[in-house]
Amino acid sequence: MNGALRLKRALVLSPPLLWTFLFMFVPYAILLVYSFWQQKYPTFVPAFQFGNYVQIFTDPQYFRVILRTLKIAFFVSLGAALVAYPYAYFLVFRVRKPGLRLMLYMAVVAPLWVSYLLRAYTWKTILGTTGILNSFLMSTGILSEPSSVFLYNQTAMIVTLIYVFIPFMVMPIYAVLEKIPHSLKEASADLGVGRVRTFLSVTLPLSIPGIVAGFTMTFCLTFGDFIAPFLVGGPDGQMIANVIASQFGASLNWPLGAALALVMLMIVLSIITVSDKFERLGQGRFA
């Protein structure tokens, strides 16, 4: 390789390499270092000890939040998949006009461009104790007094998060369904296989990679969310990101916050790794 070419490559390479090193690699490394530090009132001091991690896995307060966050992320992903799959299926296999299909696809993806905060906020105005749903039910006589069952619980949070993240579920499922050749379904029908069985033994297995991709994305996004819990979650709706945020705010325990963030990072990374393996496996089988 001649010198000029090498110089050119260095010029293309160096800005992104420097940037990712300085603003991604170094911060993650410092985060790791901080997770071994120790809280010492009123702030914290350098140390090398595993106290923060021990605290996370022995203090039920933190452990319970992690479990709750996993549970909520699971139900959000499941709910989103149950809504997104029929929608994507309808678009690919039932809508004949390409124009209408594009419009319906955009209809579900477009909200991604609309402020996430506002989309969560509007659910708060709808579900609140004095909110629109309650006053609507009262004015129609279904309820005689406002009910607090709608807001500040985990169901409200799950509904809000499904609403916010559903585009991430529709996109990959749509992408895999679109690639399934219609001839496969026709062949199955020609062989006298019923539609339900064709779906279960042809369409559904072929769409698993898309479901896995959507599930992973929705799960990870929900897992790190701290806005929906704040807006509609209430006291039993705190998620791990809220606990992390409070360590960097009111509690002023950055080392514990850093350790919690690393636990979160590890969980997210292992989910991505497993899902990657799974998708590759799927591709190998169907290619």
Partner 1 sequence: MSRSLSERLAWVVGITLILAFLYLPIAVLVAYSFNASRSLTWPMTGFTLEWYQKLAANEALIDAFYNSLYVAISATTLTLIIGVPAALALDRIDFPGKGLFRKLILLPIALPGIITGISMLILFRSLGIRLSLEAVIVGHATALLAVVVTQVYARLQRLPNSLQEASEDLGASGLQTFFLITLPNIKTAVIGSGMLAFTLSFDEIPVTFFLTGRDNTLPMFIWSTMRRGLTPEINAIGSLIVLMSIVLIFVSVRLQRNTKTQQK
Q: Is 111 in the site for partner 1 (CB under 8 A)?
A: yes
Closest CA to 157 of 237, 65, 77, 71: 237
Residues 141-200 that bind partner 1 (CB under 8 A): 163, 166
Nearest approach in angstroms of CB 59 to partner 1 is 20
Residue 78 in contact with partner 1, rule: CB under 8 A: no
Residue selected from 68, 74, 75, 122 as contacting partner 1 according to rule CB under 8 A: 122
Tell me how far the alpha carbon of residue 267 is from its chain's centroid: 13
Contacts 24+ apart (CB under 8 A), 144-152: 151/124, 151/127, 151/232, 151/234, 152/232, 152/233, 152/234, 152/235, 152/237
Stretch that binds partner 1, among 51-59, 202-210, 225-233, 277-285 (CB under 8 A): 225-233
Is residue 248 close enough to count as binding partner 1 by CB under 8 A?
A: yes
CB-nearer residue toward partner 1: 85 or 282: 85
Q: 111 to each of 77, 102, 105, 199, 227, how far by Cα in Å?
A: 18, 15, 11, 30, 17
Q: Name residues contacting partner 1, limited to 254-273 (CB under 8 A).
A: 254, 257-258, 261, 264-265, 268, 272
**12 near partner 1, rule: CB under 8 A:** yes
- Considering only 2, 41, 96, 118, the residue that binds partner 1 (CB under 8 A) is 118
Do residues 254 and 34 touch, judged by C-beta distance below 8 A?
yes
Query: Of 103 and 285, which has the nearer Cβ to partner 1?
Result: 103
Cα–Cα distance between 226 and 216 in angstroms, integer? 18
- Of the pair 225, 285, the CB lying nearest partner 1 is at 225
Site string for partner 1, 90-109 (x = CB under 8 A): x---x---------x-xxx-
CB 84 within 8 A of CB 166: yes
CB of 236 to partner 1, least distance (A): 20
